[in-house]
Amino acid sequence: MTTIAIIPESDDRTAKYRAICGQKQAIGSTPGQALDNIEQQLNDAGIVRDSATAIILHRTQSDRFFPSQQHKKLQDLMARFHETSATRNALSDGDRQELDRLAELELEAAIQRSQSLLQQIQSDTRD
């Protein structure tokens, strides 16, 4: 299964979305535009995708799977990561490790959200 993650980003002027599939990335002003752009890149590169594609739109708020404290810290570190990248600097080792840890926790939360949604759908179809 091919997985495409769509992550909201913003700068001081506009909101935008980044679609990520493996090493490929594309930006759009809406989630749909980012998705269209990444699919075009994959097609242009001749990358054959599976017949099933999972599209994960990252939430911009905390929930029961990813609490507000973790969410705020992840947002802060991502903002610092983008700032340091723009100036060709790097995060400290400690901040980078914390960012990696929180990204893994957020991925686990996304898996739990998906499992919860699947259970809900299966329950709804049985009723």
**The domain 1-58 is classified under which CATH number: 2.30.30, 3.40.50, 3.30.160, 3.30.70?**
3.30.160
Residue 117: pLDDT band by 50, 70, 90 thresholds?
confident
**Average pLDDT score, the chain:** 85
Distances (CA, A) of 7 to 21, 40, 58: 11, 18, 5
In tens, the pLDDT along 45-57 reads 888 776 777 787 7
**34, 56, 73: which is closest to 109 by C-alpha?**
56
> Which tokens in the block code for residue 65?
């799977």
Every domain of the chain and the residues it spans:
1-58, 60-127
More confident site: 47 or 43 = 43
Quote the percentage of the chain above a pLDDT of 70.
94
Q: What is the mean pLDDT of residues 98-116?
A: 86
> Which tokens in the block code for residue 31?
């989630």
Distances (CA, A) of 102 to 10, 47, 59, 67, 117: 19, 30, 14, 11, 22
Residue 34: pLDDT band by 50, 70, 90 thresholds?
very high
For position 60, what pLDDT does the model report?
A: 67
Give dist(CA 32, CA 40) in Å, integer.
12
Quote the percentage of the chain above a pLDDT of 90.
25
Q: What angle do CA 81, 22, 46 make, to 5 degrees?
A: 135
